[in-house]
Amino acid sequence: MPSNAQRSTLNARNVLDGWLLSRLNQTIKSVTQNLNDYDAYRACEAIEEFVDDFSNWYIRRSRDRVGPTVEDNKSKILFYETTFYTLTKLCLILSPFTPFMTDVIFRNLTKEESVHLASWPKLNLKIDVNLVKQMKVIREIAEIVHGQRKDANLPVRQPLQSISVKSPKIRPSNDLLSLLLSEINVKEIIWIKGKIMEVVLDKNISKLLEEEGKARELVRYIQNERRNMGIVLTQKVLVCSPWIPSNKEITRWVINKTLAKKLIKGEFKITKAS
């Protein structure tokens, strides 16, 4: 039977959870087959690819799902459940290669006696091959856009209005496109059917987009100062800044993102709120 994490994720709105579980099951299947064939190299290769997907995509793209300012508690719980489930299964398939490290991690996670006394993981969830393929396309486009941003000296913190994608692939689901837009910090996407992949980034920056970019930079500056001062994540603060967004919605976003009780104009300073 699927675990609680698997059952929850099947009904989750966040497409990342379903993708990760599909990739995990692909990896378990590949590692099991390769070890049965005495091919340790290919088994390690499959694990290495999965760890890259897990850390450099799933964890990074899920950062906004956790933390004291997150309001969607259901998504937060699903993230923790999925991550816990993935880490325990990853320890199991890694245990023949790194027996001591995986045993320490597994016992800390599960409080069980040893990873080497646990059963080898079975495939309990159907692999969504289409979702895995679509996510690969999304990541390819994200890589292209990041390259274009770098060439144009446009940091990811600076929001842009749109991108146009011409591709022979079928238009991904709205959930996946939303994930892409969040990754590349762009407002909208135009998807056109074409013979080859072409991505055109709208580099025009309006006054509103410029202000959003400056607001993101301000948030980064405030968060760094909070960390340097040793302020805990849940502590409200008073923020004094020489620049404050003129747009009220952007100002509210800065306040919510930084747990600021008040944002006033003046020389930059952060103090704990009473």
At 125 the pLDDT is 73
At 67 the pLDDT is 83
Query: Quick one: CATH architecture of 4-117?
Result: Orthogonal Bundle (1.10)
pTM, 2 dp = 0.87
Q: How do 260-265 and 237-241 pair as beta strands? A: parallel
What does each of the 274 residues of the chain score in pLDDT, given as a tens digit? Answer: 345 544 444 444 589 999 999 999 999 999 999 999 999 999 999 999 999 999 999 999 999 899 888 888 899 999 999 999 999 999 999 999 999 999 999 999 999 999 999 999 987 778 999 999 999 999 999 999 999 999 999 999 999 999 999 999 889 999 999 999 999 999 999 999 999 999 999 999 999 999 999 999 999 999 999 999 999 988 999 999 999 999 999 999 999 999 999 999 999 999 998 8
* CA 148 to chain CA mean position, Å: 21
Residues of the chain with CATH 1.10.730.10: 4-117
At 79 the pLDDT is 95
Give the angle subtended at the CA of 139 by the CAs of 133 and 141, to the nearest 5°.
Answer: 110
Question: Where do the H-state alpha helices sit in the chain?
Answer: 4-10, 15-36, 40-53, 60-61, 73-94, 99-110, 129-151, 174-184, 207-229, 248-258
What lies within 8 Å, CB to CB, of 125 at 6+ separation is: 2, 6, 10, 21, 22, 25
At 122 the pLDDT is 87
- Burial classification of residue 29, based on how many CB atoms lie within 10 Å of its CB (0-12 exposed, 13-18 middle, 19 or more buried): middle
Q: From CA 155, how far away is CA 186, in angstroms rounded?
A: 12
- Local structure of residue 266 (DSSP, 8 states): S
